[in-house]
Structure 1
Amino acid sequence: MPRIGWLLRKRAATALGLLGLSAGASALASVSAGCSSEADGPCISDEQFFAEKVWVPILSTKCIGCHNPQGQAAESKLILAGSSEAGFLDKNLATFKSLAGLELGGESYVLLKPTKAIEHGGGQVLASDSAEVEALRAMVERTKEPSSCETDVNASFAGVVMSGPEETLRTASLELAGRLPTEAEEEAVAESGMDALDPILDQMLTEETFYVRLKEIYNDLFLTDRYLNGEEAVDLLRSDAYDPKWYNSLPQDPALVAKYGARDLEDVANKLKSWTNRAVGREPLELIAYIVRNDRSFKEVLTADYTVVSPFSARAYGVTAEFKNDADPDEFVPAKRDPIPLAGVLTSPVFLSRHPTTNTNRNRHRARMVYQFFLGTDILKTAEQPLDQTKITDFNPTMNNAACTVCHAALDPLSGGFHSFDSAGRYEEDDTWYEDMRPPGFGAESVPFSEFPTALSWVAKRVADDPRFALSAVYTMYTGLTGQQPLAAPTNDDPEFNAKFRAYLAQYHAFNTMAHDFADGGYNLKTVVKAIVKSPYFRARNVAQASRGEALTQLGGTRFLGPEQLHRKIWAVMGYPWRPRAFEDDGNRYDFLLRRDAYRMLYGGIDSQDVIQRITEPNGIMANIADRMANEMACIAVPRDLYLPQEERLLFPYVETTFEPRDTNDFDVLPAVEGIKQNIQYLHKRVLGESLELGDPEIERTYKVFLETWEEGKAGMAKPEGEEGRLSRSLPGPCQVHNDYWTREGLPDDEKLTRDENYTVRAWMSVMTYLLSDFRFLYQ
């Protein structure tokens, strides 16, 4: 096949623009109100006014140093949360409102204290005639007469190019369902626009691929897939309480071979071992999938007094459960593991083992993960400062030194909630807690003595009731669906603070709205997914014009596909997965992008053990893998699709192998050219999601790939035998169609495709390689 590498880097300038997708701060800077203007300026919501006029210039710079949970003013009524805590602005606004009504002589304490009109331990912080005091006074008035203005997040995206309803549908379909939209879905969106998305998304969120994707997203947090190899998960179960390797004592019953679809009894044992280990290893992820699939409250991720088991993990745990098919490794049903007081994923053996403890750590690592996974708060960032160990002179610094208590005051009580679970994740009913640590609890509450044996269940319920729980679910799904981390509040010394804070505030408000809707809707996670998909943060694609000199902020939208997502996209678009052979009866599928011993790790994936961070920007190795994929998938799919009857084809509904663009006199064969260009237009839509007119320059570029490949091929086949550069009329061996791809059964001779007499098959293979190598396919 002629080389077309020089063409596979087309649209470089456009690609570079999208690979580094960003928006000028001017596009995100205005979080303007959606109300009519007032005499003194635009209508500003109370939340925005507090954030911009009170928090940024006053509370975050002049107050929080003392008025924090461990500061000198820790005993006062004004306790402020730092920006590392999810939902900190809402929490601080609520605190401000509760204090604004406390008055002396008709003046609010929040005005009297900082001006030292009355005694203030921090002295005079603000001049009574300063602009800061006027801002505080205005905010106090707003607490008495709240503004009717609403923060209009959409205004912050002025100048940002958004995907339309059709493109949003395609992106969502590939992301959530691992397939292309159906014809009916496309017609509905074409007719009703974004309004048609809701019922379509509802359907997608019932499809099995969504739950595969959901488990991938949460495994990127939990990293519990670390135990899927061999018997690593069942090895975590204590043999004195369970029968984790029950499959080793199976009777030698030949009926088991048929029941489990095995080759022989040895294969039965291997299957049962693998299925049992996988069910135990994926228990936390399967619990999340069960909760979401059944529209249960997402709080049950922490509060469920049950777990989920497959027919095989049920045997390992020794629990009784009813299954529709007790030979199905993918069926999970709820069950209890007496006498353990369960607390959702927190009491799963693999979760506890993946996030272990020691005698000195005392469950603090586990507690930190709870804050990070379920409260959207990196507890370590609450005190990001170098510690001078020479100043840590207290007998018990985690209890008594302010440099330590800033983290430990929140962390240690939650650590105590895990007291009944040892370093191996085993339940110890009679366990005690350390007397030199804070008592188990959460926030200002301590676990009642009567609840001490079930402290983790007690704590988990409080965590799930915390407003940050809903926000953390939004954060997790946003990152999973867009590949972007939520924006962090900029530091006050950032030279582009104003622009970055406005961008942060816009996202903060949007995510808070989603979190409130999530909670109001009974904590159904599907509402979060739908809200993100319809939001500008998912639909943003590019910027019309970035403003020079202002902050650039990453948005959602286009991102490099990970190996699992690319695998599903290839299959959805091409009709075949990228693997060296078809499905095998023993389940030993060799999908290149899914196997650790193939390309999953090299293409930026994780193994949840040694590699726990995905690579999101392609390197040279990943580029080479993508090129190999494009060549091999063209070889696999193009001949097979062309050999099918025209009405059954996915890729080539408008052409036949006999369609040559020019005749022997080198004149264009117009009907063939029209058919070729029409099929190219169709492929741009199917492969790249581009709706192009037939005269579009991109259509012409792709036609040029076809034409020049065909011309070189025809010339090569015309050369005499033995002459350099002569090309065969047969397809390359791996590209020939001799058998059914899925069953490997041989085809009748008259249905085989081994020859390419006109060089059109290979020309189409070049086109397909060209399109599959495009960044628009490798990104989404």
Structure 2
Amino acid sequence: MRAGCSLILLCLVLAGCSGGGNEYAGELISDSNPQQPGTTLPGGNGASACSAELERFNAELWAPVLAPSCMQCHQTGGIAAESGLVLKPASASSYLADNLSAVNTYIASASGLANIEAKPLAQVVHGGGRVFAAGSAAHQVLQGWLAGPVASCSDGDGSDGSVSLSAFWDEAVLLDNNATLRKSALLFAGRLPTTAEQVSIADGTEISLRNAIRHLMSGEHFSDFLMESANDRLLTNKFANSRTPGLELLYEGGRFTFIESRLAPLQQAVNSAATDEQRQAANEAFGFAWENTNKAVATAPLQLINYVVTHDRPYSEVLTATYMMVNPFSNDVYHTGIRFADNNNPDDWRPAQIIDGYAGGPLPQAGLLSSQMFLARYPSTDTNRNRARARWAYYFFLNVDIEGLALRSMDPADLADTNNPTLNNPACAVCHEIMDPVAGAFQNYGDNGHYRDAWDGDDSLPDTYKAGSLYQQGDLWYRDMRAPGFAGTALPATSRDNSLQWLAQQMVADERFASGIVAFWWPAVFGSELLPQPTEPSDVDYADKLARYSEQQRMVGELATAFRSGGYQLKDLLADMAMSPVFRALQAPASTNYGDMGAGQLLTAEQLSRKIQALSGGLWHHTWDENYDLLARDYYGLYGGIDSDTVVQRAQSLNTLMYAVTGRMSQEMVCQRVVAEFELPKAQRTLFTLVEMTDTPANASAQVQAQVNRLIEVIWGDPLTDLALEQNSAYTLFNEVWSERMANAPSDWLYHNDTSDDQQDEFCLLDWDNDAALKQDPNHTLRSWMALLTYLFSDFTVPYE
């Protein structure tokens, strides 16, 4: 009955999706500002000669060679920032025109033509070493460009350097405003839109829709969205369990002198218990305190993100915050001096500073960078020397993958080099000139993240280094590594003790910070990672890959520009993402160039659980505990959940095992939900608001049909096919099941069907301890509604949104 519908992701951002605060003041598609699929987007001028040259530059040189191989070094802040070739990142509005001009200027300079080919091959001295091999695809593309006609953008057409790929959008169809609001509400708020919210977008304008989406961003489920999405990137929840507990990290060396202030007396009560009853009570009290304390210290970095966003503070504060987040349990560990009205409330989170709770004195805080859990999740060693931390700081907050900067050298001479190659060998310097100064900025933090963890508390240098000839008393960093700094700027001597606070300020001032945050939150909103740079022009589908990648990069740039100009308000960024066609677009059946991108993203186990609760009014739960979330617990791993330790990647497509889980859910939960609904007055129900148990196709066909239609609307939203066909098919299913039961059902009892054949038993898992519970279905409508709900909840639209 359900037609196959392929949902796509359409990579487009519209100009003007910006502005701080709660009200939208930009320009998006609206009745007064129409933008039809297939037309040139703002900033592009596909008919002009200039734009045609820029498209050629993008396809033939920028995308296959310069962006993946040269960009990270040859830009402001890169190690080649003082060279004759400085490029602009995709986040710059006119990057293509400016970069084409920079390339032409460089080629026209003395020896520029020779150097632009020889340096990437390391045939002449090159600070970045060899970045690709002679004869490789990138080399051939570069040779082809240099041998071809000179491209220029000087015809005065006013192009800002954006590439118009209008054909990319020809078959784009967007979700309407109501469907967009529903999708946004389920994602950000874990619920369906309210009547008031639906009324607020009744004027049909994009401004009203954007404001309605922005106002969804509050409450418990929005916080869930923020912290789950952030953890999917940072993976600090590795420590929020008893297998690798974060609390154990803090015991190391006895540096947190108040760590036992709550737990020690509770443990003593366990040890001194005189009876089994006392021991059980004491164990429960200790277990409660230990679990909440461990969870509090482990989730502190995610709570910082939640605090910054929900309080509408600039998102840059996730790095620059000079405080950390504590609740009553972690406050006892850190001894911050603040007080809580309820010392057992784990949900009361507040900013605080560690003044006397650490043996080494006050701890300088630098947001996520100084978080014990972040530092421990990306630990260091005597030889790694904080390089992993530098690598992940670049990746998470600047969208720079240092490991992808250059080709790894296979030259035997390079590999045999023992003269400190990370400092002296050009084949290594391309990465280490960027990475190692930032590693040095982490100089005060030891392998597991403690501040100045040497025995005397003076530094965090390992004994293996301090026993050597290079170390001098008072050193904080290695003398055989590059000095601490960032992007060519050295760490000031006055910031030696709080080097991460200095680094945080440098990073948020970097122009890459905005695009880095767009990339960080991209999977949370769109359900998939940013596409990688296509690197093989000989691929049959290279042109399609390049088109998709180019549009995504343009979107990242425009979102980043709006985010930056709007004062780094993450709610505004999320709203702009939700307004974009990449969130709203549907694929026309004949389209093939969108690849596996899609607006219908697979929901995580947590998101699907919230959606089920929003649609049906309750969880898929154990019979004996309606708050026991089966998707988030028993079936979490089977449905693609992560443990942030050994399983760190969410499933992005429905596999066989996950499909089996959704099938079981759709069959098992319907007894609970249908019975629970009809035990309530009609006005209090979520699903069955139009019928009673006595309404059947024989005596109330109109009401039954209306109820069927409403179930489709609530559970499926827009069915994406012929709505009348879906409604008639669903009603037919209900009617046939009801007719069959009226003619042949052996019993109207819900918990069995009076048969000795277990395979035919109709046992319904219900709470039989509830004397008021429904136990019979005399009109056979409950079982018929259960059959229909099984059909509706097993549809592909339920695990996707």
Q: TM-score, normalised by structure 2?
A: 0.80
Q: Does 1:491 align with 2:543?
A: no
Q: Does 1:777 align with 2:794?
A: no
Partner of 1:675: 703
Task: Give 1:471-490 correspondences, 5 Å limit.
Answer: 471-490=515-534
Q: Does 1:417 align with 2:441?
A: yes
Q: Which amino acid in the other structure matches residue 307 of structure 2?
A: Y
Of 241, 250, 256 in structure 2, the residue corresponding to residue 237 of structure 1 is 250
Q: For the residues of structure 1 that align with 2:69 and 2:719, how far apart are their CA atoms?
A: 55
2:675 match: secondary structure: helix
Partner of 1:665: none
Q: For the residues of structure 2 that align with 1:648 and 1:614, how far apart are their CA atoms?
A: 36
Deviation per CA, 1:393-432, whole angstroms, max 9, x where unpaired? Answer: 4312111222211211111111111111111211006222
Deviation per CA, 1:289-331, whole angstroms, max 9, x where unpaired? Answer: 0111111111111111111111110110111124454332111
Deviation at 1:559, TM superposition (A): 1.6
Contact 2:624 2:767 in 1 (8 A): no
Partner of 1:508: 553
Deviation at 1:211, TM superposition (A): 1.2
Contact 1:161 1:544 in 2 (8 A): no
Greater alpha carbon shift after TM alignment, 224-233 vs 163-172: 224-233
Task: Give 1:503-652 correspondences, 5 Å limit.
Answer: 503-547=548-592, 551-581=593-623, 590-595=628-633, 598-652=634-688
Contact 1:718 1:726 in 2 (8 A): no
Q: Which amino acid in the other structure matches residue 250 of structure 2?
A: L
Q: Does 1:689 align with 2:696?
A: no
1:308 match: secondary structure: strand
Contact 2:256 2:333 in 1 (8 A): no
Deviation at 1:109, TM superposition (A): 5.7
Q: For the residues of structure 2 that align with 1:708 and 1:558, how far apart are their CA atoms?
A: 32
Partner of 2:261: 246
- % of aligned pairs identical? 32
Q: For the residues of structure 2 that align with 1:655 and 1:756, how far apart are their CA atoms?
A: 14
Q: For the residues of structure 2 that align with 1:120 and 1:212, how far apart are their CA atoms?
A: 50
Q: Does 1:206 align with 2:218?
A: yes
Deviation per CA, 1:464-498, whole angstroms, max 9, x where unpaired? Answer: 21111111111122211111111222115243333
Contact 1:57 1:132 in 2 (8 A): no
Q: For the residues of structure 2 that align with 1:476 and 1:117, how far apart are their CA atoms?
A: 39
Q: For the residues of structure 2 that align with 1:194 and 1:28, how far apart are their CA atoms?
A: 14
Task: Give 1:264-275 correspondences, 5 Å limit.
Answer: 264-275=281-292
Q: For the residues of structure 1 that align with 2:435 and 2:568, how far apart are their CA atoms?
A: 25
Q: For the residues of structure 2 that align with 1:320 and 1:250, how far apart are their CA atoms?
A: 20
Q: Does 1:450 align with 2:494?
A: yes
Deviation per CA, 1:190-226, whole angstroms, max 9, x where unpaired? Answer: 3334332233223211222111111001101111111
Deviation at 1:352, TM superposition (A): 0.8
Task: Give 1:392-411 correspondences, 5 Å limit.
Answer: 392-394=415-417, 395-411=419-435
Q: Does 1:765 align with 2:778?
A: no
Q: Which amino acid in the other structure matches residue 220 of structure 1?
A: D
Q: Which amino acid in the other structure matches residue 264 of structure 2?
A: S
Deviation at 1:436, TM superposition (A): 1.3
Of 48, 51, 54 in structure 2, the residue corresponding to residue 44 of structure 1 is 51
Query: Unaligned stretches of 5+ in structure 2?
Result: 13-34, 125-141, 270-279, 356-361, 460-475
Greater alpha carbon shift after TM alignment, 360-369 vs 701-710: 701-710
Deviation per CA, 1:346-367, whole angstroms, max 9, x where unpaired? Answer: 1111111111010011111111
Q: Which amino acid in the other structure matches residue 161 of structure 1?
A: V
Task: Give 1:77-226 correspondences, 5 Å limit.
Answer: 77-80=84-87, 87=91, 110-113=107-110, 132-133=149-150, 135-136=151-152, 138=153, 147=159, 156-226=168-238
Q: For the residues of structure 1 that align with 2:767 and 2:510, how far apart are their CA atoms?
A: 59
Contact 1:33 1:45 in 2 (8 A): no
- In structure 2, do the counterparts of structure 1 residues 726 and 738 end up closer, same or farther at CA, with 3 Å as the change threshold? closer
Deviation at 1:250, TM superposition (A): 3.5
Contact 2:73 2:430 in 1 (8 A): no
Deviation at 1:522, TM superposition (A): 1.2
Q: For the residues of structure 1 that align with 2:235 and 2:69, how far apart are their CA atoms?
A: 41
Q: Which amino acid in the other structure matches residue 392 of structure 1?
A: L
Task: Give 1:355-370 correspondences, 5 Å limit.
Answer: 355-370=378-393
Deviation at 1:650, TM superposition (A): 1.5
Contact 1:126 1:132 in 2 (8 A): no
Q: TM-score, normalised by structure 1?
A: 0.82
Deviation at 1:506, TM superposition (A): 1.9
Deviation per CA, 1:125-157, whole angstroms, max 9, x where unpaired? Answer: 999997542x14x35x77xx9536866788742
Greater alpha carbon shift after TM alignment, 347-356 vs 502-511: 502-511
- In structure 2, do the counterparts of structure 1 residues 301 and 67 end up closer, same or farther at CA, with 3 Å as the change threshold? closer
Task: Give 1:264-413 correspondences, 5 Å limit.
Answer: 264-323=281-340, 325-338=342-355, 339-385=362-408, 387-394=410-417, 395-413=419-437
Q: For the residues of structure 2 that align with 1:228 and 1:71, how far apart are their CA atoms?
A: 37
Deviation at 1:92, TM superposition (A): 7.8
Q: For the residues of structure 1 that align with 2:697 and 2:295, how far apart are their CA atoms?
A: 54
Q: For the residues of structure 1 that align with 2:773 and 2:114, how far apart are their CA atoms?
A: 94
Deviation at 1:241, TM superposition (A): 2.8
Deviation at 1:391, TM superposition (A): 3.5
RMSD after superposition? 4.2
Q: For the residues of structure 2 that align with 1:360 and 1:345, how far apart are their CA atoms?
A: 24
Q: For the residues of structure 1 that align with 2:377 and 2:715, how far apart are their CA atoms?
A: 40
Deviation per CA, 1:101-144, whole angstroms, max 9, x where unpaired? Answer: xxxxxxx56534478699998799999997542x14x35x77xx
Q: For the residues of structure 2 that align with 1:693 and 1:357, how far apart are their CA atoms?
A: 54
- In structure 2, do the counterparts of structure 1 residues 63 and 455 end up closer, same or farther at CA, with 3 Å as the change threshold? closer
Q: For the residues of structure 2 that align with 1:461 and 1:434, how far apart are their CA atoms?
A: 23
- In structure 2, do the counterparts of structure 1 residues 719 and 52 end up closer, same or farther at CA, with 3 Å as the change threshold? closer
- In structure 2, do the counterparts of structure 1 residues 86 and 148 end up closer, same or farther at CA, with 3 Å as the change threshold? closer
Higher RCO, Cα 8 Å, sep 6+ = 2
Aligned residues: 716
- In structure 2, do the counterparts of structure 1 residues 60 and 542 end up closer, same or farther at CA, with 3 Å as the change threshold? closer
Contact 1:86 1:468 in 2 (8 A): no
Deviation at 1:276, TM superposition (A): 1.1
Contact 2:9 2:599 in 1 (8 A): no
1:334 match: secondary structure: strand
Q: For the residues of structure 1 that align with 2:484 and 2:584, how far apart are their CA atoms?
A: 44
- In structure 2, do the counterparts of structure 1 residues 319 and 583 end up closer, same or farther at CA, with 3 Å as the change threshold? farther
Contact 1:281 1:350 in 2 (8 A): yes
Query: Unaligned stretches of 5+ in structure 1?
Result: 1-9, 101-107, 254-262, 663-668, 740-745
Contact 2:414 2:425 in 1 (8 A): no
Contact 2:746 2:753 in 1 (8 A): no
Q: Which amino acid in the other structure matches residue 516 of structure 2?
A: S
Contact 1:563 1:604 in 2 (8 A): yes
Contact 1:58 1:132 in 2 (8 A): no
Q: For the residues of structure 1 that align with 2:720 and 2:77, how far apart are their CA atoms?
A: 61
Q: Does 1:711 align with 2:739?
A: yes
Deviation at 1:630, TM superposition (A): 0.8
Q: For the residues of structure 2 that align with 1:602 and 1:32, how far apart are their CA atoms?
A: 45
Partner of 1:104: none
- In structure 2, do the counterparts of structure 1 residues 779 and 400 end up closer, same or farther at CA, with 3 Å as the change threshold? same
1:758 match: secondary structure: coil
Contact 1:575 1:637 in 2 (8 A): yes
Q: Which amino acid in the other structure matches residue 439 of structure 1?
A: A
- In structure 2, do the counterparts of structure 1 residues 184 and 691 end up closer, same or farther at CA, with 3 Å as the change threshold? farther
Q: For the residues of structure 1 that align with 2:95 and 2:264, how far apart are their CA atoms?
A: 57
